[in-house]
Amino acid sequence: MGNRPAEVEALLVSVAKQDLPPARVVIVGNGCPLPEFTGLPCEVTTIELDENLGCPGGRNVALRRLREFGDVDVVVELDDDGLLVDTDVLSKVRDLYAADPRLGIVAFRIADEHGETQRRHVPRLGAKDPLRGGLVTGFLGGAHAFSMKMLAQIGDWPAEFFFAHEETDLAWRAADAGWTIRYVPELLLQHPKTSPARHAIYHRVTARNRVWLTRRRLPLPLIPVHLGIWIALTLLRTRSVGGLRAWFGGFVEGLREPGGERRPMRWRTVWHLARLGRPPVI
């Protein structure tokens, strides 16, 4: 969004230092002009959008450009205020995909400069050990890798979400199509500690998108269960009256507004997600 020029430059330098050079590097100015990146050992393709399309919309633009190049099998997406500390991240990603043809998504570990991983950044219930890897049901939006073959089958990011829950929508589609999602804590993105509530639209779009997510992806009997659980959790967790008002406003918006095509997951996918430790109602 044009407000982190130093961080973007540092991230690009860390990408350029990888022992496996990236085939392509694309950066999107989401409704903002981009500076000229000079002196980097890798070529950077820049795209400037006239309006902010949100996280998923901006990433979709980059994915379309990568497809035009035609030589990319795996894409790594990184938040602009992150940093690759190690130099072997891309080569490890390559090896993971080479070893498993049904690997769809690789989730990185996100930790701050002190090595601490926030609870919300561990993609499993409980979130006790951020260093325990394995198969999971979701991934971290700030740092991950996708199989381009998987995206060709299941589709790209849900652009209409703009911000919040877009990762879950994509992860559920991947699982339903038989692709695996693996959390690999050895793949580290250093990222400052933040709260999603820092965004003014957080409460509204979180509620709206949760309703859209369930309407799009869950079997009908699970929709009221999922939403009922999250209404209760929101009432217990949210201390701000204004936040609650915005949340319920977004909830109603999610019921009234179309949230995209409905393609509910199969019941065997529900069982698969439950066996991995996170049934799709939590």
Q: Which token pair is 247?
A: 């949340």
- State phi, psi for 68 to the nearest 5 degrees: -65, -35
pTM for the full model? 0.94
Question: Over 90: is that where the pLDDT of 124 sits?
Answer: no
Please state, in angstroms and as integers, the Cα–Cα distance from residue 257 to each residue in 161, 247, 252, following that order: 12, 15, 9
Can you give the pLDDT at residue 214? Answer: 98
pLDDT: which is higher, 42 or 141: 141
Share of the chain above pLDDT 90, in %: 82
Quick: pLDDT tens for 215-251: 999 999 999 999 999 999 999 988 889 999 999 999 9
Question: Over 90: is that where the pLDDT of 43 sits?
Answer: no
Can you give the pLDDT at residue 39? Answer: 72
**Are 4 and 81 contacting, i.e. CB atoms less than 8 angstroms apart?**
yes
Q: What is the mean pLDDT of the chain?
A: 93
| Domains of the chain by residue range | 5-194, 197-275
First-residue to last-residue Cα distance in the chain: 32
Looking at residue 218, its amino acid is L
Can you give the pLDDT at residue 38? Answer: 74
Least confident of 87-96, 97-106, 124-133: 124-133
| Average pLDDT of the residues in 141-163 | 97
Quick: pLDDT tens for 73-91: 999 999 999 999 999 999 9
pLDDT-derived band at 119 (thresholds 50, 70, 90) equals confident
| Average pLDDT of the residues in 17-34 | 94
Fold type of domain 5-194:
Spore Coat Polysaccharide Biosynthesis Protein SpsA; Chain A (3.90.550)
Question: Over 90: is that where the pLDDT of 207 sits?
Answer: yes
Quick: pLDDT tens for 160-200: 999 999 999 999 999 999 999 999 999 999 999 876 655 55
